[in-house]
Homo-oligomer: A and B are copies of this chain.
Amino acid sequence: MSKTVGVLGGMGPETTLDFFAKVLRQTGASSDQEHVRLLIDNNPGVPDRNAALTGQGQSPGPVLAQMARGLQASGAEFLVMVCNTAHAFQEDILNATTLPFVSLIEETCSAVLRQQPECRTIGLLATSTCLSAGLYQSAFALHGVVTLALEDSALTQFMALLYRIKAGDIGPEVRAQMRDLALQLVDSGAEVLVAGCTEVPLVLGAQDVPVPLVNSTDVLVERTLQYARGFAPLPERRVEIAQ
């Protein structure tokens, strides 16, 4: 009997759908009963993560906390969240439930180090909010890996692309622009690219770039199945910090 997964989703809905589809593909089940149970809260009403951290909107923390409590009430045994940027608010989730929380950031970082142990410089495609919060940079710095990120007008262009993807545009123009941004990071010295925003893999694939691309959604899918099936020990709950 596998563990029930609680999924904090809806940020955006397309990336949650992408995650769900990939979990089913990777499960390789031959009957309904071999699949893993997923409780998905596809909540598109989570306040905008980017607006919140720039002081232009309310914090998504309380909504994420309420979602986490609901997932626990419905039977979730551990939590995952299909949005890199929202991990800036993960303390709210940890404080809301007693469940283990699988960090997309930490899992992606570990996957990069496992897959590319010689890598010293990664190129990170992530939102301005995710960058400001330093989520990936601090995780990689612990292992002596330098993080290169988009800056200034390139970052502005990246953010505009994300909101086009969220509006359903995954056409050739968006794909070409995303590839160009990724190549800028390679030109700056990135040995590995990290798609550290769950919208990125909707328009950028390994075939588009000349260096290895680690996709945070794929990492989360793989690790979610391993945890659900008991093939890996769930992360320990850290001591909770009063806020």
How many residues of A sit at the interface, in one of the four size bands? 35 or more
* Alpha-carbon gap, A67 to B37, bound state (A): 11
Structural contact, B10 and A35, CB atoms closer than 8 A: yes
Structural contact, A168 and B42, CB atoms closer than 8 A: no
Quote the shortest CB–CB distance from A219 to chain B (angstroms): 20
Structural contact, A17 and B20, CB atoms closer than 8 A: yes
Residues from chain B with Cβ under 8 Å of A11 in the complex: 32
Contact with B along A65-109 (1 / 0, CB 8 A): 011001101110000000000000000000000000000000000
Question: Quick check: is A121 within 8 A (CB to CB) of the other chain?
Answer: no
Known: A21-B17, A74-B73. A37 touches B31 (CB 8 A): no
Structural contact, B33 and A48, CB atoms closer than 8 A: yes
Complex: chain B residue closest to A24, CB-CB:
B13
Question: Quick check: is A12 within 8 A (CB to CB) of the other chain?
Answer: yes
Quote the shortest CB–CB distance from A50 to chain B (angstroms): 11
Complex: chain B residue closest to A47, CB-CB:
B33
Copies of this chain in the oligomer: 2
Complex: chain B residue closest to A35, CB-CB:
B44
* Alpha-carbon gap, A127 to B167, bound state (A): 38
Structural contact, A39 and B37, CB atoms closer than 8 A: no
Question: Quick check: is A45 within 8 A (CB to CB) of the other chain?
Answer: yes
Known: A29-B167, A44-B29, A74-B73. A12 touches B39 (CB 8 A): no
Complex: chain B residue closest to A5, CB-CB:
B42
Residues from chain B with Cβ under 8 Å of A40 in the complex: 38-40, 42
Complex: chain B residue closest to A167, CB-CB:
B30
Structural contact, B44 and A32, CB atoms closer than 8 A: yes
8 A Cβ contacts from A154-192 to B: 163, 166-168
Q: A interface vs B, CB < 8 Å? A: 1, 10-14, 17, 20-21, 24, 28-46, 48, 66-67, 70-71, 73-75, 163, 166-168
The 6 closest A-B CB pairs, nearest first, are A70-B74, A35-B44, A40-B40, A73-B73, A12-B32, A38-B42
* 16 A-B residue pairs with CB within 8 Å: A10-B35, A10-B37, A12-B32, A13-B29, A17-B21, A20-B42, A21-B21, A33-B44, A33-B48, A35-B42, A37-B44, A38-B42, A39-B42, A66-B75, A70-B75, A73-B73
